[in-house]
Structure 1
């Protein structure tokens, strides 16, 4: 009794893991008992049923396995299942030979059912079915699986060095950690071991099929001998009983063997790295294309209308294929639209990435929604064409290509309103009337015509929005006729020209140099970065563009930098001044056209001396009152120049040009400040308005 309690206490101390580890030894002991000890018929029924259940479970597991290594114990299971079937064959053979003379029920109800019910008690039918199963198992499934395992093991071993090198490369580049690399190496070894084991384990199934044939011959021949000579049975009676028992025993053992062989084939023939079961993979690849199903239905329907064919069943299946094709097509359409909407909404709500960040565009033209209506499609296309021409003209006049002008829709804008943005900052806005034209009064005479009175946005001239039908009347009155799109483009052109330096960034500088190097490679190689850096070159070119001076004459610009390389030393202002002097002929022609006399604004000697003293001193700052008076007087000079149709150019001493240009950059943007050295020698200079000549 005490020993019993000790045994129970020992069993309680064993945990579940230790019990699982004992399952394999216990199974081996059971197999050995079946080989040695005779089993009663009811226990034989239980074990045969257990064998069938285990084979079905193995097949289902193989079908739902997503990766080969998920079922790495399959070779061992194959060995155990084969041993279990062989031991059952031996146990059943023993009981058939010992008790077969008592009747077909002597070996249990499972063997009797397979021998009587499934084949109707007909020996020849059972024999044919058994032979067919053996052929399918031995020559088709087992042989194919064995060949696949053999070739797979060979290829896995050949690919191992390459896989190891790939893992080492990923580890060295930092794509994976040491832990992950170790796991991947173990998987490579496990995969090689698995295919090698399957190559050997497939021989078990082949041997099992051969053993089944031999056991069947032993059962039928041995049973007849035992029945006739030991139990004095009639030949017909012995043949009837032992044939049923033999066929039943062969079928009940061969069917689980066939199921295990199918599971082996499923495991070995699996291709692809998708994390899905083989059943889902087959459905997705075979029944996921409605066109394939539809054409299959057409072919089957052709067979269905051939006389002599089973027309009804063929047409039934062709109709089923058409319905399935329509269903799949409809499901794909719904799934595509719904998944696109749901995924986009879900991503917007739940996921953020760097792709969600929208950077500010350089030039943006915001338009009212009316521009994008179908009735104004031609007008919108004409606007896009005019914007393209504008960029082309800017490139032609100034020597570099500005970025794309983005036209975007803003439903918050009023009807006909547009806004111009540069680097995300609103610069100016305006209004146009879609079904009208703008009549601009370019003369000095005041003219009143029926229409909406406005100010022209570029030159600030009086203008009227009038009906298109009044176009001939406007032309007769010698007014300038401007279409709505032209108003927008002209307004945008003015803003772009005043902000050219903002559009010439580092990226544009690099693109500009790439283009120049195609024509003047030696110049580029010598100037950048030997004489100046690319950032200094960018600032120099930006200074030129600020005064709307073209940078097309890049040869003169680079040769000037080379000529004065000893004095400039990355000094932006000094380099700009020297280049401007080299470009004096172009500058003179740009601002004064072909006039022989340069009519410009000048400074009085008193103001010029004050500014020179301020610049030469350490504290180069103007007093607020002096600055205010200077700006006020300069604005008066601008008005005078415009009244007399003269250029708004201020000529000053070279040393104070940069200082005054910075001073007037915001207060008087339309004023251009030039030095006397920037005027061509063949022109006469005439100061028509002197700032500070009277009182200051």
Structure 2
């Protein structure tokens, strides 16, 4: 043997030695079955393998009976295939032994085949053949065909229902009824269930083919045995028929009985329902749960027992047993009902104490609706609200840079039927009223003719609008109105509210998730930042400050890198860290405001106002009269910039930016306050006005 071959064999053996026993058993079993087809087996080994085949079939049937759900035995199609291959390999091996050594006597192929053949034949070969054919017909025509049909229908129904069940999981996830881990578990379970029923549809064909193979092997053994016995070994026709028929029937029964057991297991499994109890408990609870069925059955049997000429003793015994069983079941039911009635009275005497489990935490993001808006949430009734909310969450998560939590939708009977409320952390941040059977026609300012409808205002932006009928929708669009459906109105309001209050939606859990995301691409940065350099609460405060000024958290590496660098220099104050982060991502901030153009229109402060603000920078507050005049001036500039379709950007010194940002956010929410050091060198500034 060459060195290369030795190395290859050593590597293969090493890999086999490294495998667990369960992992190595499957390929060894397949190789053993292939060897059984090719190599001759001694009678003792045939006895051992036939007995093992029967034991495996019994174990499979019992496992199917005791399993709670079909999916709990998901490996069954593979076991069915392996058991079928083992049985066919044994048939081939036993056929070889029967045809080669059948002339030597009834034990030429082992004691198991001899025992089955002698027991069934009982001295009459016609009876043995008839019994074998009946077993095969029962297996092939009744059990296998029925199980195959049930498997096919189950697989087809499962595939047809797959899209709807996946949408139901997504709807429950968006509604907040389940967590992401539960949704992932349910999707995995749904995929396994689909694969299982598809595999069962194919595996039932193995059982059907095995039944056909049993008939053909019986014919081959009978015809071949007679020909070989008379032609090769010089036996008479009677002796050859006696020897080879006994062996053939025994061989067929040894293979057909396990096949019948496995076919029965297939039929039981595919007709099972998913319940939290074994099959025996289900049958006992449903078939024998109502004593009326036993009472009627027992009464009929007793009536038949009194008819002359009938087997009176048997009918009377069974009828009495049914009536006794009905009495016992009714007695047990009365005892259970009495215990159930007694338990509440005992518990009522003991006052229930409150616990922490009785306190339900506030949802990070919730939507409360009146009862007339409930159909908008039900996807089965054509409601589109959950789909709209799912799209809003996906878009906001992409824009803001963190995963927006699910919106927990619930009905509130204390509200008006057509009202809704948006809550963040249990506090109402937005509300409105919706007419679910109307369309909202918004007036963008260029309407050429009005349409008939109920006057209202858009709950999101306060624009003039009309609630119109569906029949007026086309006319309103032609007249210049922007027409939206009620689900879109609510989804748009949720989107606007979350954008304006994203800093309240982001919490410590979301910050930790962002750190986990960063750890995948920059593990050292994430490890050094929290908790070695900064606590999680400080990092959360900085991220909330960015979101409060509508800065996306997409550039995680730059944001956390700036925090880490500034903290290493000794700054742990959230305001100082926020200023450092804004300076590091200034290009991103400016591009988000300007829309990617190189020119940015800005407002500056009058020199006297700038000196006044810098002198009072340490107080973080403005004198009331100055604050009022400044608010009026910024509001006028914001309106002027909005009329020009340009952003409102106030450029100020770094030491007053934080104070002015909080003030401007209340006066003009659409305005931006930038420090000098946040403007990239490549950006061209254009003076749009001076705040006096």
Range into which the TM-score falls when normalised by the shorter chain: 0.5 to 0.7
Write the deviation string for residues 370-412 of structure 1: whole angstroms up to 9, x where unpaired: 1225996657742122222222222212221122211111112
1:638 Cα deviation after fit: 1.8
Residue 259 of structure 1 aligns with which residue?
none
Alignment of 1:639-658 (within 5 A): 639-658=639-658
* Residue 450 of structure 2 corresponds to residue 448 of structure 1: yes
Relative to 1, partners in 2 of residues 1:301 and 1:672: Cα closer, same or farther, differing over 3 Å?
A: farther
Residue 595 of structure 1 aligns with which residue?
597
Residue 326 of structure 2 aligns with which residue?
322
* Residue 676 of structure 2 corresponds to residue 672 of structure 1: no
Write the deviation string for residues 567-623 of structure 1: whole angstroms up to 9, x where unpaired: 3521222221121122122111211102332123332222112111111xx545321
Structure 1 unaligned runs (5+)?
1-284
Structure 2 unaligned runs (5+)?
1-280, 305-309
CA contact 1:597–1:683 (8 Å) conserved in 2: yes
Write the deviation string for residues 83-112 of structure 1: whole angstroms up to 9, x where unpaired: xxxxxxxxxxxxxxxxxxxxxxxxxxxxxx
Write the deviation string for residues 614-656 of structure 1: whole angstroms up to 9, x where unpaired: 11xx545321111111111111122112222222332222221
Secondary structure of 1:364's aligned partner: strand
Q: Distance in 2 between matches of 1:374 and 1:547?
A: 33
Q: Distance in 2 between matches of 1:373 and 1:333?
A: 39
Residue 370 of structure 2 aligns with which residue?
368
* Residue 512 of structure 2 corresponds to residue 510 of structure 1: yes
CA contact 1:660–1:673 (8 Å) conserved in 2: yes
Q: Distance in 1 between matches of 2:671 and 2:350?
A: 49
Write the deviation string for residues 345-377 of structure 1: whole angstroms up to 9, x where unpaired: 959974422211122222221100112259966
RMSD across aligned C-alpha pairs, in angstroms? 3.5
1:681 Cα deviation after fit: 2.6
Alignment of 1:478-627 (within 5 A): 478-615=480-617, 619-627=619-627
Residue 394 of structure 1 aligns with which residue?
396
Secondary structure of 2:670's aligned partner: coil
1:484 Cα deviation after fit: 0.4
Q: Distance in 2 between matches of 1:348 and 1:475?
A: 66
CA contact 2:502–2:548 (8 Å) conserved in 1: yes
Relative to 1, partners in 2 of residues 1:509 and 1:594: Cα closer, same or farther, differing over 3 Å?
A: closer
1:468 Cα deviation after fit: 1.1
Secondary structure of 1:463's aligned partner: strand
Residue 416 of structure 1 aligns with which residue?
418
Q: Distance in 2 between matches of 1:446 and 1:621?
A: 48
CA contact 2:660–2:673 (8 Å) conserved in 1: yes
Secondary structure of 1:435's aligned partner: coil
Structure whose alpha-carbon radius of gyration is higher: 1
Write the deviation string for residues 481-508 of structure 1: whole angstroms up to 9, x where unpaired: 1110111111111111111111221222
Residue 384 of structure 2 aligns with which residue?
382
Relative to 1, partners in 2 of residues 1:529 and 1:353: Cα closer, same or farther, differing over 3 Å?
A: closer
Aligned partner (choices 281, 306, 315) of residue 311 of structure 1: 315
Q: Distance in 2 between matches of 1:430 and 1:596?
A: 40
Write the deviation string for residues 436-475 of structure 1: whole angstroms up to 9, x where unpaired: 1111122355753211122222333221111111121122
User: Is 573-582 or 327-336 further displaced after alignment?
Assistant: 327-336
Q: Distance in 2 between matches of 1:607 and 1:313?
A: 109
Q: Distance in 2 between matches of 1:409 and 1:539?
A: 33
1:309 Cα deviation after fit: 1.4
Normalised by the size of structure 2, how large is the TM-score?
Answer: 0.53
CA contact 1:291–1:325 (8 Å) conserved in 2: no
User: Is 663-672 or 645-654 further displaced after alignment?
Assistant: 663-672
Q: Distance in 2 between matches of 1:347 and 1:483?
A: 54
Normalised by the size of structure 1, how large is the TM-score?
Answer: 0.52
Relative to 1, partners in 2 of residues 1:412 and 1:332: Cα closer, same or farther, differing over 3 Å?
A: same
Q: Distance in 1 between matches of 2:556 and 2:324?
A: 75
Q: Distance in 1 between matches of 2:555 and 2:346?
A: 51
Secondary structure of 2:682's aligned partner: coil
Q: Distance in 2 between matches of 1:534 and 1:366?
A: 32
Write the deviation string for residues 145-189 of structure 1: whole angstroms up to 9, x where unpaired: xxxxxxxxxxxxxxxxxxxxxxxxxxxxxxxxxxxxxxxxxxxxx
Aligned partner (choices 454, 457, 460) of residue 459 of structure 2: 457
Q: Distance in 2 between matches of 1:600 and 1:397?
A: 24
Residue 690 of structure 2 aligns with which residue?
690
Aligned partner (choices 405, 416, 426) of residue 428 of structure 2: 426
Relative to 1, partners in 2 of residues 1:471 and 1:290: Cα closer, same or farther, differing over 3 Å?
A: closer
Write the deviation string for residues 414-443 of structure 1: whole angstroms up to 9, x where unpaired: 231111122222222101111111111223
Q: Distance in 2 between matches of 1:331 and 1:406?
A: 43
CA contact 1:588–1:679 (8 Å) conserved in 2: yes
Q: Distance in 2 between matches of 1:419 and 1:553?
A: 33
Q: Distance in 2 between matches of 1:373 and 1:666?
A: 37
1:682 Cα deviation after fit: 2.3
Relative to 1, partners in 2 of residues 1:471 and 1:374: Cα closer, same or farther, differing over 3 Å?
A: closer
Q: Distance in 2 between matches of 1:679 and 1:312?
A: 101
Secondary structure of 2:391's aligned partner: helix
CA contact 1:648–1:672 (8 Å) conserved in 2: yes
Relative to 1, partners in 2 of residues 1:507 and 1:566: Cα closer, same or farther, differing over 3 Å?
A: closer
Aligned partner (choices 463, 472, 475) of residue 473 of structure 1: 475
Write the deviation string for residues 285-339 of structure 1: whole angstroms up to 9, x where unpaired: 9xx9675677995998998767141534541441342355467568868987x79
CA contact 2:376–2:383 (8 Å) conserved in 1: no
Residue 51 of structure 1 aligns with which residue?
none
